[in-house]
Amino acid sequence: MRNETEIIDLVTKRLGGQRGGLPEGVRLDWLRLGLGDDAAVINTGGRRRSTGSPTDDLVLSCDQFLEGVHFLPSLHQPDAIGYKALARATSDLAAMGARPRFFLVTLALQPSRTGEWLEQFAGGIRRAAREFGMTLIGGDTSASPKIAISITVGGVTRLDHALTRSGARAGDSVFVSGTLGGAQLGLACLTARPKLTRNQIPKESLERHLRPRIRLALGQWLAGSGEVRTKIASAAIDISDGLSTDLHHICHSSRVDARIFAPQIPTVNIPPAIRRLPRMRRINPFELALHGGEDYELLFTVPRRLAARIPSHYKGVKLSRIGEIVARPRQKKSARVELVDSAGRAIPLKPQGWDSFRRDR
């Protein structure tokens, strides 16, 4: 059985996908960035009527959200499903530093859910759309034995200001926004058996799981695509699959290695009342931070000369320097990420975040 990366590689090859730039023999000068990043970047060739200068680039991504894989209708309220469906998709625009503009939705669902369930689901999407400044511009619906949601999102970015996964260089600092592991903690509490009462579940973690805060303003600031025009980050990704996996994505795309420092990783605070519960004892905040997915924080790298520009907080969101990018020995093909503990011991950190095709899940 293939893993997710192998499946993506195979489909890409069979479909003749493009990574961007000008591939041999094919002239795609409209494509700035194709496969292999959080979103594709397209130069529409437009010109501003007033000044004649080129218009912003278009940034496109899609995401699916499936019953039984990503959510359970018995556990998740329809408005939270709606909100999260759009937030997950739009987080990829945040990772590119783009300003969100529009979305398209395809929705398959059981005929029994076309009443109250659908009303609430639509309300959740509408709330997210208002928050992110997005407009629905198309979609499709179908009856289906299970709920399947697919959302395509579009945004814009200043020319050449897109944040990619491939720009990290040796010597860059590695930063992360917010705290990590909260969404997984929320999910663990929600699915604990015997059940926890609503009062026992830490509210903040439950919110992070149900309604993730995506980092649009931070992404735009790092990209220099908003008011401030300096591009600060050299690479970025949103942490959807977990820090260990998403840092490997950056290292893979940038052909570098990385070293992160355990004491500097911002872990989530697990309330003592939860930690004491026998069924929650196995939960380790550090493991949650390394491998838990769905936090939708930004993981980004900053060149040494710009690192001093990173404040301790940006618009109330904590920013932590967790490590550094190191050069990869020329003969090594795959990325190596090291985790350094407080005593200075380094161990290899394998990508152990979310992979929906992995057997051990």
Residues that bind Mg ion in the complex, under the rule CB under 5 A: 38, 92, 238, 240
Identify the DSSP state of 264.
G
Q: Which is nearer to Mg ion, 92 or 297 (CB)?
A: 92
Report, in Å, the least distance between residue 249 CB and Mg ion. Answer: 8
> What minimum distance in Å lies between the beta carbon of 237 and Mg ion?
6
Secondary structure E strands in the chain: 31-33, 40-42, 57-66, 99-109, 135-143, 148-157, 173-177, 235-238, 257-261, 298-302, 313-314, 317-326, 337-340, 346-348
Nearest residue to Mg ion, by Cβ distance, number only: 38
| Least spacing, CB of residue 43 vs Mg ion, in Å | 22
Nearer to Mg ion, 92 or 324 (CB): 92
Minimum distance, C-beta of residue 269 to Mg ion, in the bound complex (Å): 26
Residue 217: which H helix or E strand, with range? helix 216-223
User: Looking up tokens 């594709």, which residue turns up?
Assistant: 40
Total residue length of the chain: 361
Nearer to Mg ion by Cβ, of 79 and 92: the residue is 92
Q: Rounded to an integer, what distance in angstroms lies between the CA atom of residue 171 and that of residue 46? A: 37
Min dist CB 212 to Mg ion, Å, is 12
Nearer to Mg ion, 92 or 355 (CB): 92
d(CA 118, CA 150): 15
Smallest gap, in angstroms, from Cβ of residue 238 to Mg ion?
4
User: 230: which 2 tokens?
Assistant: 């300096």
Torsion sign, CA atoms 113, 115, 118, 124: negative
Q: Between 33 and 189, whose beta carbon lies closer to Mg ion?
A: 33
Q: Which is nearer to Mg ion, 124 or 219 (CB)?
A: 219
